[in-house]
């Protein structure tokens, strides 16, 4: 099976603020949306979202 397109990539991070700084200030990604528990970056047709590990239940509704 060949993957032709990815809609979104979600990363659970240990340090939300450090990760936000890395993706915005080091890699230069532009914030698409942000609400305090996650930040979403638009990378072409794919979204990259970072979530603080403690907040994953907000999005995924289960313990990981």
Give the rounded percent of residues in the chain with a pLDDT score beyond 90.
Answer: 69
Tens-digit pLDDT profile for residues 23-42: 999 999 999 999 888 999 99
Of 3.40.50.300, 3.30.720.120, 3.40.50.2020, 2.40.160.20, which CATH number belongs to 8-52? 3.30.720.120
Instruction: Please provide the average confidence, as pLDDT, over all residues in the chain.
Output: 87
Burial 27-36 (b: 16+ CB within 10 A, else e): eebeeeeeee
Break the chain into its structural domains and give their ranges.
Answer: 8-52
Model pTM score? 0.75
* Beta-carbon count within 10 A of 61 CB: 7
Separation of alpha carbons 61 and 54, rounded Å: 12
Separation of alpha carbons 51 and 19, rounded Å: 9
């Amino acid at each position: 099976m060949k993957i032709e397109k990815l809609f979104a990539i979600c990363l659970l991070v240990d340090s939300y603020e450090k990760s936000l700084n890395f993706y915005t200030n080091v890699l230069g990604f532009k914030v698409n949306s942000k609400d305090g528990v996650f930040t979403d970056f638009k990378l072409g047709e794919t979204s990259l979202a970072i979530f603080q590990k403690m907040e994953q239940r907000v999005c995924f509704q289960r313990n990981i």
